[in-house]
Chains A and B, each alone.
Chain A
């Protein structure tokens, strides 16, 4: 069958970007599905605000967890750290009467210290992260019970509650103008960035997407952002937590995409040995990734406690699993080195929208759990299937990476890898290597 150039371009576009946009498309499908199943309730302005508020702490954790998973580790302790930092700050505010402006930095520092404690064992003593953070999960859950004396403590000062459940103030009646203005500014910034990337690529003779595609992308971006901000403006405007999330997402995306620190985090996860031999301080990098996870856990702890208006012994249970699931749904690889901050956000939203949608249609928690588990499995299976289909032809490479340490390679093994190379039919038409 003859396919027209247009069809072919379209097909290539879908095929080459299936991995990149796969989860965004899945999120869109899930949103549309539940929009229909809930009879339009899902995308009501009130509910959109709810979804953001309900998932804010998981989103914060997912961002940190993505970094941890990119370095090839895991953190099982975040739920307990959320509970502990929340409990400790509540005691400091209600029991000791310290002002929130002092307690918030203290709580974040506490999270950083916890992260440093775990990072020390993982990076320098080289105990597997699974074990260190499993221990941390028990330690900080226990510490939470000790601090709270086994009871729930509340309520929190009004100003703290405002951060978690309040909105950016509007100045007029009716639709929230500030939110709309922020949305307009945001979409303008996004369009400008896209345009600048394209201009820069063209100027340096790098591959760039066509003008039509760029315009279409810009139009889609503007449409989504403006609809979203209109929905928020129609209710109470942008939540303060939403603004915080925005700052975190943009900041961490920039860190991972555009800074040398981010590049080194990817390198450590991709191949720790190769990274070390390229001058990356791999231990220090791993250590700071865990410190960062601790700080973000503390932030999530503050937001969660404030939203609940009480510190409870059972706070944050299963949060670690939600965050880990979000990262993997969002395209992280269990072997490290792969994943994006935006991916983690999309993954967390997939879980969040499903939670919310299934609750609205009245599905029991039992079914919700099972369905979420299946979605996690399906997402990762799709990702792996996709990688194989795109033709990663990596049989030899994977075997090579699993090989033993730094000892000299036996010659016959070298012969084998040379022959594998031929079998794989690689880009270079290799002439027969002369036997040595």
Chain B
């Protein structure tokens, strides 16, 4: 077999971060090549280099397609060369028809800019048949399920005479039947001679369809495994993905763990708009006084959804389940109820969900605890400013006082403000969703210290993180999630990255 794509010595730096470090990738003609790695390992960055999102010159190294060197300056260049990329978030216009979407920007025309509707429809029908989609080309895309929309995306790629199809986590938004269908299609396209690169977090599907697997870790290509000699060993992939030692980036702590304070039982939630798509499926967990409990899972496992739906039904459609506090069931119909029950949630997306960026630090810090600085609904400005300043100093937010606009702060300091806001509400249970994402090492350490201090004072902490070392370094116990279910629970002394990764990739049998 000959090589279709060779990427040589690809290095891509963002200021302060080396996202890709001398990566080598070779994809053979007509194979399905899987790309695996933890969140942030550099998979999507590598694909952005390949598809021209990062133009030539923005990275170092070379890209050879069929032996010819390519220098793409944008997606249109890579498309011309026959590379099509299908992102997690679909790039379809929902109001336009299936055929219009397939030929968007590439319209079948007659004369100067007049659309040839007849040819559009007939050609669309043909390309739809190739992806096994029996759909009226004039139907609006919004009327299709997500799985079918994904097939339309693939049809769109095929219509451009694609040679190399890149799929970025294609099954993360699909149900089981749709995933099966999609993977089957990939194998069919392979028969037709189309080469694919499949980015996935799911071991099961990779070992099922891929011919070879390249594992990325910390921006480096660790190894490429071939399945031609037999099944790829799952354990070996896992080791490649996590293979790294736990270093001393976590403060020491002697845990003082008491009785069970919070318990979630049979928690089941459906997707807010897609009817019948189960996002959290009968999840259950318990947290004790003074305990830091981790929640591990890959993207799309349902961790954020579990946390937000417990936090006053802030996500999805509640189906079933009960939250117990100190053994008694509590009803959390909205965020106000959750706050009253002593629950706080520090969201993953701090800019959109955590802060009001136009407001100053003081107003952000007191928003969830206004009752503490007001009397009969009238805010005492002095008490507020003093309390905010105390919190700011305690959280070590670097700023010129509490009247600075939060939008002007760095990511780490913004995160400390969000954390401070919830500390100010004096919670019994603090849920942290990816609290250190995109934050530098120093600020991370400070956040760890603050979280541990809160636990030492007797609060419960639930820590959601995609960084396994962080979970192992911080938590007394870790739950693993996959496909909306809790797939296991590991105490600190038995937890290691391999065990967790295995649980995090345990799909339904």
Using a CB–CB cutoff of 8 Å, the interface residues on chain A facing chain B are 200-201, 203-204, 206-207, 258-261, 263-264, 266-267, 270-271, 273-281, 333, 337-338, 391-394, 396-397, 400-401, 403-404, 406-412, 414-419, 421-423, 426-428, 430-436
Contacts and interface: CB of A to CB of B under 8 A. Distances in A.
Nearest to B418: A274
Contacts of A281: 334, 336
B379 A259 contact: yes
Contact of A431 (B315, B352, B368, B440): B440
A410 B370 contact: no
Contacts of A278: 335, 367-368, 421
Contacts of A436: 38-41, 218, 466-467
A419 B413 CA distance: 15
A266 to B, nearest CB: 7
A259 B219 CA distance: 51
B284 interface: no
Contacts of A432: 16-17, 440
Given A259-B379, A408-B300, A412-B45, A421 B411 contact: yes
Given A204-B382, A416-B14, A422-B15, A411 B308 contact: no
Nearest to A403: B352
Complex A-B, nearest 9 residue pairs according to Cβ-Cβ distance, in ascending order: A419-B14, A270-B356, A400-B351, A426-B410, A411-B40, A436-B40, A428-B410, A418-B438, A432-B16
Contacts of A271: 352-353, 355-357
B457 interface: no
Interface stretch (B27-35, B232-240, B398-406, B487-495): B398-406
A271 B353 CA distance: 8
A258 B413 contact: no
A428 B407 contact: no
Given A273-B352, A274-B353, A392-B408, A260 B374 contact: yes
Contacts of B252: none
A279 B335 contact: yes
B82 interface: no
Of A204, A271, A412, A423, most B-chain CB atoms within 10 Å: A412
Contacts of A280: 335, 367
Nearest to A270: B356
Given A274-B353, A274-B354, A278-B421, 4 more contacts: A271-B353, A271-B356, A275-B356, A409-B349
15 contacts: A259-B374, A260-B378, A264-B370, A271-B356, A279-B336, A392-B405, A396-B351, A406-B308, A406-B353, A410-B44, A412-B45, A428-B409, A430-B411, A430-B412, A434-B218
B356 A337 contact: yes
A263 B409 contact: no
B356 A428 contact: no
B438 A431 contact: no
A338 B408 CA distance: 16
A261 B377 contact: yes
B213 interface: no
A266 B363 CA distance: 10
A275 B367 CA distance: 8
A271 B89 CA distance: 23
A43 B286 CA distance: 73
Contacts of A201: 382, 385
A160 to B, nearest CB: 34
Given A278-B335, A436-B40, A263 B14 contact: no
B372 to A, nearest CB: 11
B437 interface: yes
B427 to A, nearest CB: 12
B349 A406 contact: yes
Interface in B416-446: 421, 434, 437-443
B358 A427 contact: no
B277 to A, nearest CB: 13
Contacts of A415: 14, 17, 19, 40, 45, 438
A281 B367 CA distance: 12
Given A274-B354, A435-B19, A426 B408 contact: yes
Contact of B357 (A259, A261, A397, A410): A397
Given A279-B335, A403-B349, A423 B15 contact: yes
Contacts of B398: 427-428
Contact of B409 (A338, A401, A419, A427): A427
B314 A277 contact: yes
Interface string B96-121: 00000000000000000000000000
Nearest to A413: B44
B42 interface: yes
B470 to A, nearest CB: 9
A267 B57 CA distance: 44
B72 interface: no
Contacts of B315: 406
Contacts of A267: 356, 359, 363, 367
Contacts of B381: 200, 258
B180 to A, nearest CB: 23
A429 to B, nearest CB: 9
Nearest to B46: A412
Contacts of B363: 263, 266-267
Contacts of A393: 407-408
B339 interface: yes
Contact of A417 (B18, B379, B408, B438): B438
Given A392-B408, A397-B407, A426-B410, A263 B379 contact: yes
Interface in B307-345: 308, 311-312, 314-315, 334-336, 338-339, 345
Contacts of B358: 270, 333, 337-338
B52 interface: no
A427 B379 contact: no
Contact of A426 (B39, B304, B357, B409): B409
B88 interface: yes
Contact of A279 (B18, B339, B412): B339
Contact of B401 (A207, A417, A423): A207
B386 interface: yes
B299 interface: yes
A279 B332 CA distance: 12
B40 to A, nearest CB: 4
A421 B438 contact: yes
Contacts of B312: 279
B266 interface: no
B263 interface: no
A319 B38 CA distance: 58
B296 to A, nearest CB: 14
A394 B408 CA distance: 7
Contacts of A391: 408
Contacts of B409: 426-428
Interface in B257-301: 299-300
Contacts of B339: 279
Nearest to A400: B351
Given A338-B358, A411-B466, A436-B467, A428 B443 contact: yes
Of A270, A392, A403, A409, most B-chain CB atoms within 10 Å: A409
B347 interface: yes
Contact of A259 (B19, B352, B377): B377
Nearest to A281: B336
A411 B44 contact: yes
B348 interface: yes
A77 to B, nearest CB: 27
B48 interface: yes
Contacts of B399: 427
Contact of B438 (A206, A406, A433): A433
A383 to B, nearest CB: 13
A274 B353 CA distance: 4
B355 A206 contact: no
Contact of B367 (A263, A404, A416, A421): A263
A400 B348 CA distance: 12
Given A267-B356, A418-B14, A428 B412 contact: yes
B216 to A, nearest CB: 11
